C-alpha cells in the first residue's frame, strides 16, 4: 500500500462489513466487541510482524475511504497489490509491518496498526566533502483501524519500527543514516516519536496551454539516462566542501524512484481517463546548460471535477549549469508542465523544495506562481541515525522534492 504515502492515522470512520462476532478467532473485519478485547498498547504481548495476504486486504479495505483518491474501492485494492511489485518496492525493497498480539496466529489476530518501510539509496557528505553511500528508509502508509484509535497503537508500532530500521536490510557495508516520512497530519505527532519536521515549501503554478513552449518531451525510455546523469552531478556537487560547515544528506533521485511514481500514475490514468501518460517530463537547452523536469499526474478526484486538487507534480527539477542563469530554458520547461497539466485536466502544478536559486530563476521567468508552506499535508520529517543531531543546525537535507515521497 505504499502509494498512500501521505502518512495518515485514520481520522474518519471507515465502514465495516463484519458481524462484530466476539470470537477473535474469526476476525473477518477486524472488529472487536468492546475495549476488553483489545490489549494495552504497552503490553509485552504486542510485537511487530508482517501481514498475510488476507490481512493486507483487510488493511487496504479499511484504508480505501481515506486513500483511494479517484479510484473505486476495488481499483484501490488492485493498485495496492500492484504497487508491491513495481521498482523500489519489488524484490524486498518494501517491507510491510503490523502491530499484533504475538499469542494469536496469522489471520486470526487484530491488526492494531500498520505501516510500510521502503529502502532508498542516499548520500551523506561531511563538511569537507567526503561522500558516503548510505541507506535511508522511507516510512509510508501509517494506518490504524478507526475502531482501534486513541489507544496508542500507532505510536507503539512506530517506536518498534524505529528500533529495527537502523540495521534493517543493511548490505555492502552501507550504513542506515535515517528514516523519512511525509506526514499528512502535521508535524507534532511524528516529532513526539523522533521524526523531526523539516522546512516543507513548494511553488504552485496554474495550468495553461502554451503553444510551442520551446521544450522537448521526455519519454519513458529517456528517464533512466537522465537520472544517471543527474546522479553523477549530485555526487560531484556533494564532494565540494560545504560553505556553511554542515553535513549534507540527500535521497538519490534514481530511476527506481521515478518508475515507482510512473507505475502508479499509469495504473490510475488508465482506469480514470482510459490512457497512460506518454510524456514523463520536459527538457530544454544545450548539453551543459540544460534544464529538465520529470513529473507525474495525480487524480485525487474525478478528472471531470471542477475545481479539484488534481495535480501535476514535478518529481525532480534539474538545472545542469550551476553558475549561469538559464531563465529561458526554465521558462520553457515550466510552460511545458503548464501545458501538460491543462491537457490532462489537472488544476495545479507543484514543485517541492525549490532552492533559493530556483526561486529567483522562477521569478525571472515572469510565470505567475505562488510560494506555499505545507504545515499539514506533505510535511517532510526526518529521524536521524547518523552522527550528530540531524537537526537543521547540523545537517542540510538536500532536495526534499516529490520524488522522495513514498
The pLDDT assigned to 112 comes to 98
Pairing state between β 279-284 and 291-298 = antiparallel
**Do 393 and 247 contact (CB within 8 A), yes or no?**
no
The pLDDT assigned to 304 comes to 83
Query: Which phi and psi (to 5°) does residue 234 adopt?
Result: -60, -45
Q: Cell triple for residue 279?
A: 510524456
Of 28, 1, 5, 35, nearest in space to 152 by CA: 35
Listed in sequence order, the residues at least 6 apart from 249 whose beta carbon sits closer than 8 Å to its beta carbon are 122, 123, 124, 125, 134, 136, 177, 178, 382, 386, 395, 396, 397, 398
- Residue 54 has a CB neighbour count (10 Å cut-off) of 12
Q: Cell triple for residue 217?
A: 518531451
Q: Is the sign of the CA dihedral 57, 55, 8, 89 positive or negative? A: negative
- Residue 235 has a CB neighbour count (10 Å cut-off) of 15
E strand or H helix at 379, and its extent?
Answer: strand 379-384
Is residue 128 classed exposed, middle or buried when 0-12, 13-18 and 19+ CB atoms within 10 A define those classes? exposed
**Intervals of the chain under pLDDT 50:** 1-28, 33-36
E strand or H helix at 279, and its extent?
Answer: strand 279-284
Q: How far apart, in Å, are the Cα atoms of 206 and each of 39, 148, 310, 370?
A: 50, 41, 11, 9
Q: Which CATH number applies to 203-379+393-404: 2.40.50.320, 3.60.21.10, 3.40.50.720, 3.40.630.30?
A: 3.40.630.30
Q: How far apart, in Å, are the Cα atoms of 229 and each of 141, 252, 312?
A: 31, 12, 23
My answer on whether omega of the bond before 307 falls inside 30° of 0, hence cis, is yes
User: Domain boundaries in the chain?
Assistant: 24-198, 203-379+393-404
Of 256, 254, 204, 248, nearest in space to 232 by CA: 254
CATH annotation of 24-198: 3.40.630.30
Of 313, 304, 230, 301, nearest in space to 277 by CA: 313
Q: Cell triple for residue 18?
A: 463484519
Cα separation, 404 vs 48, in Å, equals 25
- Residue 217 has a CB neighbour count (10 Å cut-off) of 13
Cα separation, 375 vs 110, in Å, equals 33
Amino acid at each position: 500500500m505504499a502509494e498512500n504515502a501521505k502518512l495518515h492515522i485514520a481520522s474518519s470512520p471507515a465502514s465495516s462489513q463484519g458481524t462484530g462476532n466476539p470470537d477473535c478467532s474469526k476476525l473477518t473485519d477486524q472488529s472487536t466487541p468492546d475495549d476488553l478485547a483489545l490489549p494495552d498498547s504497552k503490553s509485552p504481548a504486542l510485537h511487530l510482524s508482517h501481514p498475510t495476504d488476507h490481512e493486507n486486504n483487510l488493511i487496504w479495505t479499511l484504508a480505501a475511504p481515506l486513500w483511494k483518491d479517484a479510484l473505486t474501492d476495488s481499483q484501490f485494492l488492485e493498485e495496492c497489490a500492484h504497487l508491491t511489485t513495481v521498482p523500489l518496492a519489488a524484490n524486498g525493497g518494501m517491507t510491510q509491518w503490523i502491530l499484533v498480539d504475538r499469542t494469536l496466529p496469522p489471520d486470526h489476530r487484530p491488526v492494531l496498526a500498520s505501516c510500510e518501510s521502503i529502502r532508498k539509496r542516499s548520500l551523506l557528505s561531511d563538511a569537507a566533502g567526503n561522500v558516503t553511500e548510505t541507506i535511508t528508509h522511507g516510512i509510508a502508509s501509517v494506518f490504524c483501524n478507526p475502531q482501534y484509535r486513541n489507544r496508542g497503537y500507532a505510536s507503539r508500532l512506530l517506536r518498534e519500527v524505529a528500533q529495527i530500521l537502523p540495521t534493517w536490510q543493511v548490505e555492502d557495508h552501507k550504513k542506515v543514516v535515517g528514516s523519512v516520512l511525509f506526514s499528512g497530519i502535521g508535524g507534532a505527532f511524528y516529532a513526539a516519536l523522533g521524526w523531526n519536521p523539516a522546512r516543507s515549501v513548494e511553488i504552485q503554478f496554474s495550468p495553461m496551454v502554451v503553444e510551442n513552449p520551446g521544450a522537448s518531451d521526455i519519454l519513458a525510455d529517456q528517464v533512466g539516462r537522465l537520472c544517471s546523469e543527474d546522479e553523477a552531478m549530485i555526487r560531484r556537487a556533494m564532494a565540494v566542501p560545504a560553505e556553511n560547515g554542515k553535513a549534507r544528506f540527500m535521497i538519490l533521485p534514481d530511476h527506481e524512484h521515478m518508475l515507482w511514481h510512473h507505475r502508479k500514475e499509469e495504473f490510475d490514468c488508465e482506469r480514470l481517463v482510459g490512457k497512460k501518460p506518454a510524456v514523463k517530463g520536459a527538457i530544454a537547452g544545450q548539453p551543459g546548460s540544460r534544464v529538465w523536469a520529470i513529473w507525474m499526474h495525480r487524480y485525487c478526484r474525478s478528472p471531470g471535477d471542477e475545481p479539484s486538487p488534481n495535480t501535476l507534480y514535478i518529481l525532480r527539477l534539474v538545472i545542469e549549469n550551476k553558475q549561469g542563469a538559464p531563465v529561458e530554458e526554465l521558462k520553457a520547461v515550466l510552460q511545458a508542465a503548464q501545458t501538460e497539466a491543462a491537457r490532462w485536466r489537472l488544476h495545479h502544478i507543484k514543485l517541492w523544495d525549490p532552492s533559493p536559486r530556483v526561486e529567483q530563476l522562477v521569478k525571472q521567468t515572469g510565470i505567475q506562481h505562488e510560494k506555499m508552506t505545507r504545515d499539514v499535508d506533505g510535511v517532510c520529517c526526518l529521524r536521524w541515525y547518523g552522527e550528530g543531531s540531524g537537526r537543521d543546525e547540523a545537517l542540510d537535507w538536500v532536495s526534499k522534492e516529490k520524488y522522495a515521497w513514498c
